[in-house]
Amino acid sequence: MKTLNFSKIRDDFPILKRLIHGYPLAYLDNAATTLKPKAVVDRMAQYYSMETANIHRGVHFLSEQGTLAFENAREKVRQFIGAHKTTEIIFTRGTTESINIVAQSYGRSMLKQGDEILITHMEHHSNIVPWQMLCLEKGCVLKVAPINDTGELIFEEFEKLLSPQTKLVSVSALSNSLGTVNPVKRIIQAAHAHEIPVLIDGAQAASHQTINVSEWDCEFFAFSGHKMFGPTGVGVLYGKEDLLNKMPPMQGGGDMIASVSFEKTTYNVLPYKFEAGTPHIAGVIGLGEAIDYIHSIGMDNIQKQERALLEYGIKALSSVPGLRLIGTAKDKSAILSFILDDIHPHDIGSILDQEGIAIRTGHHCTQPVMDRFGVPATARASLAFYNTREDIDRLTKALFKVKDIFQ
């Protein structure tokens, strides 16, 4: 394992040199979106300034060059998540669209009235609402596996909810509001024992842990570029080839067709069947560059650094009287959600902002989690490998200032 040069890595992110209200930026909002290294921004700028052309349809040089870069990015994604084939990699606008494709394409064609979909109590709204919409349309039933007071899935209760009526399991690999790391492989094995397909929401996990969909054996995996140092507006849906072939396309238009007449349309082969219209070409190329950047640092190094920051952060925040962490699972990622006395999280966030500290406040698109813990919202500091102990020290000091103001 190579040694990280932290100061050099921070130089890769020019925004970290910004002053916010006169203070150096302490960016602790990585669960909402990560910062983008200069390499990603430069690669996208190069496409727009020197390589602009539409892909897959042209025979001229720029079109062929763009197509090659786009498809090279697909291969990078395949390797990054351990998929068998590039035909199983579908580019989308992000995790939300990826899950909606499964709900609308697989769900509408494969599920019927009375079938059950099983999720957990810690899911993001993007892994709740599409299933509710499907249930309303098809007459399916949404089941929810409970979590305990630390924010961990109660696995025994999850297993009890698996039944002959369960036709799909959809769970997050990593909770965006609690930091809980779910036992993904165990979940998939339990579902497969009942021959139930599984979708894994990897939006948070993709930048924090090694992903291997082939080893996990999940049917679907969804993630977003912007949460792993890539651009916004681009994401991925992985699906097993046999299932994707059975699923109808969700959108119609250019590039998802093989032939069109007024009498009949024949759909394109995978993965293009699910990629209607001109894609976010620069975004996909930027995502490929982000994957290269992650590889240049090494996921082992990223995990080691973030684990150390998390341990330091838990200890530091525990020194603040009246602070309560929400989400204390044994297997936890670098997310620190908390409440402080009876001070509203929005007030906490506003005061921290004046100190140049960026955190997230609110329900984090997980209102059922907030209800489970009896709070309207939390303040959330989420860490990445480019954060420092100084960032955490500044956060802790600022929280003492918040207490002083409200006392």
- The residues annotated with a catalytic role in the active site are 365
Largest CA distance in the chain: 73
The rounded distance, in Å, linking the Cα atoms of 218 and 188 is: 6
The rounded distance, in Å, linking the Cα atoms of 171 and 121 is: 9
Residue 94 one-letter amino acid: G
The rounded distance, in Å, linking the Cα atoms of 401 and 192 is: 51
* CB-CB contact of 333 with 174 (8 Å): yes
What Cα–Cα distance (Å) separates residue 2 from each residue in 13, 119, 263, 273, 294? 20, 39, 60, 41, 13
261 phi and psi angles, rounded to 5 deg: -135, 170
What Cα–Cα distance (Å) separates residue 262 from each residue in 58, 126, 266, 268? 25, 36, 11, 17
Rounded to an integer, what is the distance from CA 4 to the centroid of its chain? 25
Strands (E) located in 135-230: 141-145, 166-172, 198-201, 220-224
Give the residue among 218, 224, 270 at the shortest CA–CA distance from 248: 270
* CB-CB contact of 25 with 10 (8 Å): no
What Cα–Cα distance (Å) separates residue 258 from each residue in 71, 228, 266, 269, 277? 19, 34, 5, 8, 13
* CB-CB contact of 322 with 340 (8 Å): yes
What would the DSSP string read from start to end of 77-90? Answer: HHHHHT-S-GGGEE
Sign of the C-alpha dihedral computed for residues 183, 188, 191 and 192 taken in this order: negative
The strand pairing partners of 222, in sequence order, are: 201, 237
The rounded distance, in Å, linking the Cα atoms of 75 and 71 is: 6
